[in-house]
Amino acid sequence: MIKKTFVLFLLITTSLSAQEGTFSPYSFFGVGNDTFRGTAENRSMGGISVFSDSIHLNLQNPASYSKLKLTTFSIAATGNSLELEENDSTDDVNFSTIDYIGIGIPLNKFGIGFGLKPLSSVGYNIQNVGENIAKSLEGRGGINSAYLSGGMEVIDNLSLGLTMNYNFGDIENKNIIVQNGIERSSREINNSNVRGFTFDFGLQHEFKFKDKYTIRSSFSFSPETSLDIDNDRQLATIVFGNDGSEVVIDSNDAITTSSEVDFGSKINAGFGIGQERKWFAGIEYGYQSESDFLAINFNNNIDVDFISASKIKLGGFFIPRFNAPRGYFNRVVYRAGLRYEQTGLEFKGESIDEIGISFGVGLPAGRFFTNINLGAEFWQRGTTSNDLIQENYFSFFVSLSFNDLWFQKPKYN
């Protein structure tokens, strides 16, 4: 079982690193769009991470690993239907992604976890055709995080945790300018290689109220961090072949510069109340200070400001009867939530915000509490004001969570 799990882990990790994670024009700015929204279970509840249990991963707060009772392997994927709306015109795009892969291992009151998740994604194709000039902007890539986490119950009902992330990735942006009456076109390609470590600290606490209800609170903190970045810039004159391929006529040697991008510090605080294995409702607030992406020289724009970001999330779940001997749907977990986010990006004086509503179910699917989690979210980013683009999404996501006993000594031969 352990060997098969690690082989599967390596295969999926390769696929996640190579995927195209977004088709958003707003991913042109900075290092792309923030694409990790928590596990499928969290996303179905608006993204809240204040709740943790013994058989599911919680990748947003490392203190949650102290709650695990079984080794847990989880993988998730999302199918997206995107409508890009601009004034009176629309365009539709469909794409899918692998969202994360993770393993959590309990060790008494201590737990560890590792895996891979996306930090940001870049993907856009913007065409601007004028009377005498046409411009094409294309981008792809993003940043992934390989993480190692640990959480420990330091005293009864109080857990602390730490995650170390190694962030790595490449972002490519291509700009082509075609002018009437000029045979050759101009092409600029910028490649940015980003790498470096970040750290997340977490705390979770719970206590009983009137011997019936459980009060849960959580807090996480990520300090301000700088990631190293190497920028390669290539300039060339090109002509287009009959098949649309780009034929280089003349090019300059790549110009490489090294610098840093600064990510602002983050805090996240949550509170909730519920009854064990019956229901839960929670609220969460997050804040991130301003980030500085000026070191990425290709997308500096006087119309863009990177400001502080914030988010508020509400969500919860309900289980009719978790141990019902009959009636499968009595043991299903029903989840719902909503969220509102200020992403920290302002373009042409407009704040690029997100709002979404989500629903989901957790389906028991086998021995040792193995389960399938299905969810859907309707959400929106941006606005059509000031000639901008509004992105309307329908996302359907699924996660598989496998539970088993590892590193346990057999009691019988």
When pLDDT is averaged across residues 227-255 and rounded to a whole number, the result is 87
73, two tokens: 């392997």
Q: Residue 295 pLDDT more than 90?
A: no
- Residue 400 belongs to a domain: yes
> Residues 304-347: pLDDT tens digits?
889 999 999 999 999 998 887 788 899 999 999 999 999 999 99
* pLDDT of res. 14: 53
Distance CA 298, CA 302 (A): 12
Residues above pLDDT 70, as percent of the chain: 91
253 assigned to some structural domain? no
The mean predicted confidence, pLDDT, of the chain is 89
Q: Which domain holds residue 33?
A: 2-113+141-169+193-232+258-404
141-160 average pLDDT score: 95
- The structure's pTM equals 0.89
Element (DSSP H or E) covering residue 124:
strand 110-129
**241 found inside a domain:** no
Residue 35 within any structural domain of the chain: yes
**Closest of 396, 399, 408 to residue 94, by C-alpha:** 396
- Residue 413 banded pLDDT, cuts 50, 70, 90: very low
> Within 10 A of 165 (CB to CB), how many other CB atoms are there?
20
d(CA 265, CA 185): 43
Task: Name the least confident of 97-101, 214-218, 283-287.
Answer: 97-101
Burial 266-275 (b: 16+ CB within 10 A, else e): bebbbbbebe
279 in a structural domain = yes
The yes-or-no verdict on residue 158 having pLDDT over 70 is: yes
pLDDT for 408 equals 54
In a domain? residue 120: no
Q: Is the pLDDT confidence value at 303 over 90?
A: no
For residue 183, what is the DSSP state?
Answer: S
Asked if residue 280 belongs to a domain, the reply is yes
Number of domains in the chain: 1
Task: Taking residues 281-310, report their average pLDDT.
Answer: 86
User: Which of 287, 249, 253 has its CA nearest to residue 270?
Assistant: 287
Among 242, 237, 262, 131, which residue's Cα sits nearest to residue 185? 237
Q: Which amino acid is at 375?
A: G
pLDDT number for residue 111: 95
Q: How far apart are CA 9 and CA 4, in angstroms?
A: 9
Structure tokens at 248: 């280089």
Q: Hunting for tokens 């291509």 — which residue is that?
A: 174
Give start and end residues of each alpha helix (H) in 283-373: none
Which CA distances in Å does 39 have to 24, 74, 133, 331, 356?
A: 22, 9, 45, 20, 16
Q: Residue 380 sits in a domain of what CATH number?
A: 2.40.160.60
Distance CA 284, CA 49 (A): 8
Measure the CA–CA gap between 243 and 114, rounded to whole angstroms: 45
Taking Cα atoms as reference points, which of 261, 264, 265 lies closest to residue 299?
Answer: 261
Say what the pLDDT of residue 411 is.
Answer: 52
% of residues, the chain, pLDDT over 90: 64
φ, ψ for residue 200 (rounded to 5)? -125, 135
> How much is the pLDDT for 20?
59
* pLDDT exceeds cutoff 60 at 35: yes
pLDDT at 357 over 60: yes
N- to C-terminal Cα separation, the chain: 19
Look at residue 208 and tell me if it is in a domain.
yes
Nearest to 103 by CA among 223, 172, 8: 8
Geometric angle at alpha carbon 201, from 307 and 337, rounded to 5°: 65
pLDDT in tens, 56-109: 999 999 999 999 999 999 999 999 999 999 888 888 999 999 999 999 999 988
pLDDT at 367: 63
Rg for the chain, CA atoms, rounded: 23
- 254 contacts: CB under 8 Å, gap ≥ 6: 232, 233, 234
